[in-house]
Structure formats: structure tokens, C-alpha cells
């Protein structure tokens, strides 16, 4: 999923808690434009929750324990009904009818908070909200009530799977998310064979979209943004009668598109000169790896190692997170990614995370048998609002224009 997608889709569509927080982050002041707990220094209006979620998810994936206040900030972004907006500058103010809730931000937050652990109330409410805004065709749009699109439907599937739901069992009038995605898959004949479209155009026709295809492959596989290499099956394009065949078709399209342009995708923004699309290339790597198409995934991740540094530095935390997730999916070391330490670069875009050494020291202190020391430490933690229940274990893997 492209780091730009929240803003881009919002523009297109507009044409169209957990544990009680221990302390509230102060509202931004003229001298502090954005909350100190937020990753990235650009305007978070369209992607605050999105980039925070990706940053926390990527940190967890590589064994980094995020800063407690950054996790708390994300939890406090949730509205009372369970949904998340793209960004709420003052989370102490209740959401109302004017709050634009966002299925993509909600789903990303579910995946991040599920991976971190200890936020069942928050993720449970979010999943219930997602179910409540499911469309009659089984899919989701970017905003509640919007027409279903491949990217939104796929990231919701990832959230459902991360939360322990069976996506094919989440139905509206007998239609599942997979039914919605199969309707957005192009046939094998003609241009863009096997790809996914974002949405039908005004005439109801489908056009191949690489970003949507990367998302769609993950969606029909029932995967989230963190994946392990899957078991490859035949990638010959055939009628997409099943989610598995649609995944094979989409993977075949991505493989051809990547190979055509030196192992990366090209942007196709209207009115602009085509240029390398780093974010969608990273997403394609994850999608291919999830299905087991590791040969092309590894070629493309090598291209990213050589060419993505400037893009990531300019784009910020979500871009670093995408690269980390692509590295993870292919078994590439994110701390030596073309000579760059992606983990260090991501960490530098926000609050310093809790290091493994600090976490270990805390555990040893609690296990030392010093009754007074243990309870003094717990009391200080509670007062400081550091939070409890973070799981410093590997995420259970299963599972986005």
C-alpha cells in the first residue's frame, strides 16, 4: 500500500478504549505543531493514524518495543463507536457526525495494536465497527458507505485475520469480502489480465491497477501487512473462481509488470511523467512473498535496496515501515538494507523506542525477589502511564492504490 494512499483516496472518495489512558498528550501549541508521540514531522491530517500504525507494526516485526506514549497516542485516536479517523488533533474531544471515519486507518490500527498485544478492548471495538459498515457486496470503501474498493476491502481482511476472525465468515447479506474482491479481478484475456482494479469506472468497467493488485493478492490470501513466505502454486492465469486462483492471477500480473521495468513498478498519475513507484514496489514484494513467488520478490527487494533511500527519507515513517515489511517478507536484513539501517532510520522519525536492553532490565528487576522494589517500580509505571501488557514476542503471522 502506497504511503500516499490515505490522502489520495480521501481526495478521490470525497468527490466521493482499550485501557483507560493514564495521561493525555497535550494539544499541539503554536510552538509544537504536532503531538510529540507522533511519528513523522509532516502534517498528519490525512495519514496520522496510518503512519503511526505502520511505524509501530514495523518496529514490533523487528523486535523493537515502541515508546509507550506512541502506542497510547494511537489508542486514544479511537472514537467511542470503535472507528478511527485519519487524524484527530484533540482526542479529548468526542467524535461526532462530522468526524470522517476511515476504514483504512481503523484496519491499520487493528493490525498494529493486535501485534503489540494488550489492547483487546480497542481492537475488538474496531473490528465490530468495521463489521457494522460492511457493504452489501461484502466489501468496504475508504469511508463508511463508499463503494467497495480493492485496497480498502483487502486491508480490512488483514485486520479481521489479525484479530482472529475468519474473513470468509464475515458476511453481509450472504456476501463475504472475498466475493467483493473476485468481482474486482480482471479476466485473463485482454489488457491487464489477472490484475485487480481499484473500483469499476463510471461505465462499470475494470482497469488494471498495480497498487490495487498488490493489495488484492494479500486480501484474497487472507493476509495482513506482515507476512512470511508462502507456498507457491501454479501462477498460470485462469478464471478466478476462487480466492486462491485470483491470488495466482494477480501475482502473475505483478511479476510481469515488475520484470518489464527492471524489477520495479512505475507510477501512472494523470498528468505526470511516469517515474519509479517505490511504495507500490515494496507492496508488490510483500504480496508476491506471501504467495511464495520469492524469485521476483527477491529481485525487486534488491532493486529497492539500491534505489529507495532518497524516497524513504523524503516520505518518512510509513515509507521506512513499508521497506522493513518488504525486507521481512523476503528474509532480508532491514538493519543492512543496501547499507542502510532501516530500523534506526524509522526509530529516528519519532520517540525513542523502549530498547530490548531496557525491557530485559525491567524483567530482571521484577524477578529479583525484592518485594518493595517490584511494587515501587509498578507504582511508578502506573503513575507515569507507561502502560502494561506489551508482548515482546514475535507476532503470530497470518496476513492495500
CB-hemisphere CA count at 13 Å for 143? 20
8 A C-beta contact, residue 83 and residue 102: yes
**Residue 393 neighbours by CB distance under 10 Å:** 10
Distance (Å, whole) CA 111 – CA 14: 25
Any idea what the Cα angle at residue 91 is, between residues 125 and 107, rounded to 5°? 40
- Phi, psi angles (nearest 5°) of residue 297: -60, -40
Q: What is the pLDDT of residue 72?
A: 98
Q: Are 266 and 252 in contact (CB under 8 A)?
A: no
Residues of the chain with pLDDT under 70: 1-32, 233-235, 355-401
Q: Round to whole Å and give the CA distance between 137 and 368.
A: 57
CA distances from 163 to 3, 63, 234, 274, 340 (A): 23, 20, 30, 38, 33
Query: pLDDT value at position 197?
Result: 98
pLDDT for residue 383: 38
What's the angle, vertex CA 207, arms to CA 257 and CA 149, rounded to 5? 105
Q: What is the pLDDT of residue 325?
A: 98
- In 3-state terms, what secondary structure has residue 340? strand
**Contact of 194 with 217, CB cutoff 8 Å:** no
User: Is residue 91 within 8 Å of residue 77, measured between CB atoms?
Assistant: yes
The C-alpha atoms of residue 303 and residue 319 are separated, in whole angstroms, by 15
pLDDT at position 269 is: 74
Largest CA distance in the chain: 73
Q: What are phi and psi of 392, to 5 degrees?
A: -95, 55
Residues 324 and 343 sit within 8 Å (Cβ to Cβ) = yes
> Helices 278-291 and 294-307 meet at what angle, rounded to 10?
150
**Residue 274 phi, psi (nearest 5):** -55, 140
Nearby residues of 115 by Cβ (< 8 Å), 6 or more positions away:
56, 57, 60, 61, 162, 226, 395
Give residue 235's pLDDT.
65
Amino acid at each position: 500500500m502506497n504511503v500516499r494512499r490515505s490522502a489520495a483516496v480521501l481526495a478521490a472518495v470525497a468527490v466521493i478504549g482499550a485501557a483507560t489512558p493514564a495521561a493525555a498528550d497535550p494539544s499541539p501549541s503554536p510552538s509544537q505543531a504536532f503531538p510529540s508521540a507522533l511519528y513523522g514531522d509532516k502534517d498528519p491530517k490525512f495519514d496520522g493514524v496510518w503512519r503511526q500504525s505502520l511505524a509501530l507494526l514495523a518496529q514490533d516485526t523487528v523486535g523493537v518495543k515502541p515508546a509507550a506514549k506512541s502506542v497510547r497516542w494511537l489508542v486514544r485516536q479511537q472514537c467511542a463507536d470503535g472507528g478511527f479517523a485519519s487524524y484527530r488533533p484533540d482526542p479529548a474531544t468526542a467524535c461526532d457526525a462530522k468526524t470522517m471515519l476511515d476504514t483504512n486507518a481503523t484496519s491499520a490500527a487493528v493490525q498494529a495494536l493486535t501485534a503489540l498485544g494488550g489492547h483487546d478492548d480497542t481492537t475488538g471495538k474496531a473490528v465490530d465497527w468495521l463489521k457494522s459498515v460492511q457493504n452489501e457486496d461484502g466489501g468496504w470503501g475508504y469511508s463508511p458507505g463508499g463503494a467497495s474498493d480493492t485496497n480498502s476491502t483487502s486491508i480490512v481482511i488483514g485486520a479481521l485475520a489479525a484479530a482472529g476472525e475468519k474473513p470468509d465468515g464475515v458476511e453481509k447479506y450472504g456476501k463475504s469480502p472475498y466475493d467483493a474482491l473476485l468481482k474486482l479481478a480482471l479476466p485473463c484475456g485482454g489488457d491487464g489480465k489477472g490484475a485487480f482494479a481499484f473500483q469499476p469506472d463510471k461505465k462499470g468497467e475494470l482497469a488494471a491497477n498495480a497498487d490495487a493488485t498488490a493489495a488484492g493478492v494479500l486480501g484474497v490470501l487472507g493476509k495482513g501487512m506482515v507476512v512470511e513466505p508462502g507456498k507457491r502454486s501454479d501462477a498460470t492465469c485462469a478464471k478466478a473462481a476462487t480466492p486462491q486462483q485470483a491470488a495466482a492471477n494477480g501475482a502473475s500480473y505483478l511479476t510481469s509488470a515488475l520484470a518489464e521495468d527492471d524489477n520495479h513498478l512505475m507510477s501512472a498519475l494523470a498528468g505526470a511523467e511516469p517515474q519509479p513507484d517505490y511504495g507500490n514496489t515494496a507492496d508488490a514484494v510483500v504480496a508476491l512473498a506471501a504467495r511464495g513467488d520469492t524469485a521476483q520478490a527477491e529481485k525487486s527487494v534488491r532493486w529497492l535496496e539500491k534505489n529507495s533511500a532518497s524516497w524513504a527519507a523524503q516520505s518518512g515513517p510509513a515509507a521506512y515501515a513499508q521497506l522493513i515489511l518488504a525486507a521481512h517478507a523476503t528474509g532480508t536484513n532491514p538493519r543492512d538494507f543496501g547499507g542502510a539501517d532501516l530500523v534506526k532510520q524509522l526509530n529516528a522519525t519519532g520517540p525513542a523506542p523502549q530498547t530490548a536492553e531496557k525491557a530485559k532490565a525491567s524483567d530482571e528487576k521484577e524477578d529479583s525477589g525484592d518485594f518493595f522494589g517490584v511494587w515501587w517500580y509498578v507504582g511508578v509505571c502506573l503513575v507515569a502511564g507507561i502502560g502494561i501488557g506489551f508482548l515482546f514476542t514475535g507476532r503470530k503471522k497470518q496476513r492495500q492504490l
